């Protein structure tokens, strides 16, 4: 019987944050794929307040929220560590994790949220501007000093929190016919994306790009046609 | 070496109040500096360049931003006095969940109540009460969210109590009528000096909200 179960959805970068944490620490788990348009009674029972994925169930006890789950994982299975041990460095890491969480809502693929590939015209322009501001902050404040990862030489929870930028953003851009991230304008970010995706666990655990592109394209066409 | 702590804050901010309570609970000496949010100091802009917001906690010259992060930082550095987060990892995850819930819901819904009217305000009020009821459920029969003593969730939530009169007057409803347990909990917290000294008077906050409504042209 699996001690750790993870409820998730293959399109969600929030889900992947937890997968990466579990895999980097070598923790075996059972994955339960949820259909977000038809959520299982079990998921609703484990996360009655938000009714969302990801949910980690450890020895029958549910833990919710993709920023809280990795911290729990870190405390139960401390090695290899994904958060700094120094309280100040940890506060800085949490700051960037919160920033990622707040800003990346626009890249969430849940049908009710993403304005980037769903919308057009003014709504889409606003979403694009918002994303650009986020990228600029990451470039100018998060990655100063030519660090390999947000926390220095090693991958940490901060990098995983920004995973959506490294992989999901590109697919959304293609599906929406947009070009927001231009590598020459964001050299540090570009470096970080490459470093991040080269980490073996990350490389082997990224959602299928073609499958996602096809899904987004279909959804966007449906939404624009229904307007 | 003596620790140097400066808190950049704004008296009606529930986020700032959280930090004040945490520092007071642990008896940590610090300098409090009031910011004029229409004329932010160079220090604030330098210490929080990303968000340019208060509160900012400056510890030996290094800034920590975001109130939940500040409270956790204070709890970790001064871990021997009055611990706020539970020691058990699962209980800690639960505490973080509810703190996150408060952050996601209470401020925005409260804001909806005093800045809108009509149907939008009614929806805001309804959802606000629903959230408070969920919190009452989490509190259960415990004196505090932290159990026998003030804990993380208490510190995160109780500041909003100072805004309740403002919400009630603007929304024309009674929070106590709907959530008596929560009001009892808040008043229990106020028995503690760390809380009573950190929260402004409800009437003062209401006066501030009326001023804001005038400035922003909200009826």
Instruction: Judge if B147 and B195 occupy the same domain.
Output: yes
What are A105-162's pLDDT values in tens digits? 766 554 434 565 666 678 778 888 888 999 999 999 999 887 899 999 999 999 999 9
Instruction: Indicate the residue of A68, A72, A87 with minimum beta-carbon distance to B76.
Output: A87
User: 3-class DSSP state for residue A114?
Assistant: coil
In a domain? residue B100: yes
Q: Considering only residues 70 to 129 of chain B, which have any Cβ-Cβ distance to chain A shorter than 8 Å? A: 70, 72-73, 76-77, 89-90, 92-93, 96-97, 100-101
B188 and B109 together in one domain: yes
Q: Is B73's CB within 8 Å of A76's CB? A: no
To the nearest whole number, what is the mean pLDDT of chain A?
Answer: 89
Residues B71 and B94 in one domain: no
Q: Is B213 exposed, middle or buried (0-12, 13-18, 19+ CB in 10 A)?
A: middle
Same structural domain for residues B105 and B148? yes
> Domain boundary at B78, B99, B118, which?
B78
Identify whether B35 is part of a domain. Answer: yes
Which distant-in-sequence residues (6+ apart) come within 8 Å of B43 by Cβ?
Answer: B8
Same domain (yes/no): B137, B174: yes
Q: Which one of B45, B78, B111 terminates a domain?
A: B78
| Residue A73 pLDDT greater than 90, yes or no | yes
Sort out which chain B residues have CB atoms less than 8 A from A99's CB and list them: 50
Same structural domain for residues B112 and B178? yes
The pLDDT assigned to A106 comes to 63
Residues B31 and B136 in one domain: no
> Which of A65, A98, A141 is nearest residue B69 as measured by Cβ atoms?
A98
Let me know whether B59 and B117 are in one domain.
no
Is the domain of B106 the same as that of B156? yes
pLDDT in the model for residue A127:
80
Q: What is the pLDDT of residue A112?
A: 38
pTM: 0.94
* B208: CATH: 1.20.1050.10
Distance of residue A35 Cα from the nearest chain B Cα, in angstroms: 24
Interface A-B: count of C-beta contacts within 8 A: 55
Contact between B28 and B74 under an 8 Å Cβ cutoff? The reply is yes
- Can you list the alpha helix ranges (DSSP code H) found in B59-117? 67-77, 89-115
pLDDT of residue A198: 96
Read off the pLDDT band of A173 (50, 70, 90): confident
Do B144 and B211 belong to one domain?
Answer: yes
Q: Residue B84 domain-assigned?
A: no
- Yes or no, beta carbons of B69 and A99 under 8 Å apart: no
Domain carrying residue B52 = 5-78
Average pLDDT over residues A35-64: 95
Hey, are the CB atoms on B65 and A72 less than 8 Å from each other? no
With respect to residue B110, please indicate whether it lies within any of the assigned structural domains: yes
**φ, ψ dihedrals at A117, nearest 5°:** -95, -10
What does pLDDT average to in each consecutive run of 10 residues of chain B (219 residues)? Answer: 90 98 97 96 97 97 98 97 97 98 95 95 97 98 97 98 98 97 98 98 98 89
Domain annotation covers residue B192: yes
**Residues A172, A134: Cα–Cα separation, whole Å:** 16
Q: What is the maximum alpha-carbon separation in chain A?
A: 53
Phi/psi class of residue B32: alpha, beta or left (left: φ > 0; alpha: ψ in -120 to 50)? beta
pLDDT for B74 equals 98
Specify if B57 maps to a domain.
yes
Q: What is the number of structural domains in chain B?
A: 2
B65 touches chain A (CB under 8 A): yes
Question: Is residue B83 in some structural domain?
Answer: no
- Residue among A143, A133, A120, A1 at smallest CA distance from A60: A1
Per-residue pLDDT, A108:
58
> Are B12 and B94 in a shared domain?
no
pLDDT value for A115:
60
- Looking at B53, B78, B103, which one is the last position of a domain? B78
Residue B20 resides in a domain:
yes
Whether chain A has a CB inside 8 Å of the CB on B50: the answer is: yes
CATH of the domain at B56: 3.40.30.10
Stretch (H or E) spanning A135: helix A121-137
B33 and B100, same structural domain?
Answer: no
């Amino acid at each position: 019987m699996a001690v750790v179960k993870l409820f998730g959805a293959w399109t969600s970068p929030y889900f992947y944050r937890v997968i990466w944490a579990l895999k980097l620490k070598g923790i075996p788990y059972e994955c339960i794929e949820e259909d977000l348009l038809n959520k299982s009674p079990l998921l609703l029972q484990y996360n009655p307040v938000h009714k969302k994925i990801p949910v980690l169930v450890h020895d029958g006890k549910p833990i919710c929220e993709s920023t809280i789950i990795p911290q729990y994982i870190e405390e139960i299975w401390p090695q290899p560590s994904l958060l700094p041990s120094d309280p100040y460095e940890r506060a800085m890491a949490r700051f960037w994790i919160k920033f990622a969480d707040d800003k990346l809502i626009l890249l969430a693929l849940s049908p009710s949220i993403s304005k980037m590939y769903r919308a057009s015209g003014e709504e889409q322009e606003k979403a694009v501007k918002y994303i650009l501001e986020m990228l600029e902050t990451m470039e100018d404040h998060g990655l100063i000093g030519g660090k390999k990862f947000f926390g220095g030489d090693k991958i940490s929870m901060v990098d995983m929190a920004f995973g959506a930028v490294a992989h999901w953003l590109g697919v959304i851009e293609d599906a929406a016919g947009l070009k927001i991230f231009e590598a020459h304008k964001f050299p540090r970010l570009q470096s970080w994306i490459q470093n991040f995706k080269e980490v073996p666990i990350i490389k082997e655990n990224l959602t299928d790009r073609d499958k996602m592109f096809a899904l987004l394209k279909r959804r966007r066409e449906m939404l624009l046609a229904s307007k | 070496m003596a620790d140097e702590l400066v808190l950049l804050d704004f008296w009606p901010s529930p986020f700032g109040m959280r930090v004040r309570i945490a520092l007071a609970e642990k008896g940590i000496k610090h300098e409090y500096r009031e910011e004029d949010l229409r004329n932010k100091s160079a220090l604030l802009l330098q210490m929080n360049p990303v968000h340019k917001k208060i509160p900012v906690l400056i510890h030996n010259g290094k800034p920590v931003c975001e109130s939940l992060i500040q409270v956790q930082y204070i709890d970790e550095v001064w871990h021997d006095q009055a611990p706020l987060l539970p020691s058990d990892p699962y209980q800690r995850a639960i505490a973080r969940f509810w703190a996150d819930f408060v952050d996601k819901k209470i401020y925005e819904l409260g804001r909806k109540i005093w800045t809108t009217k009509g149907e939008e305000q009614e929806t805001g009020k309804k959802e606000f009460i629903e959230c408070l009821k969920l919190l009452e459920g989490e509190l259960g029969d415990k004196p505090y969210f932290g159990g026998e003593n003030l804990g993380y969730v208490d510190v995160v939530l109780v500041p909003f109590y100072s805004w309740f009169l403002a919400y009630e007057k603007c929304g024309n409803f009674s929070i106590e009528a709907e959530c008596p347990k929560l009001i009892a909990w808040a008043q229990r917290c106020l028995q503690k000096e760390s809380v009573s000294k950190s929260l402004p008077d409800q009437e003062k906050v209401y006066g501030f909200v009326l001023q804001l409504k005038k400035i922003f042209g909200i009826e």
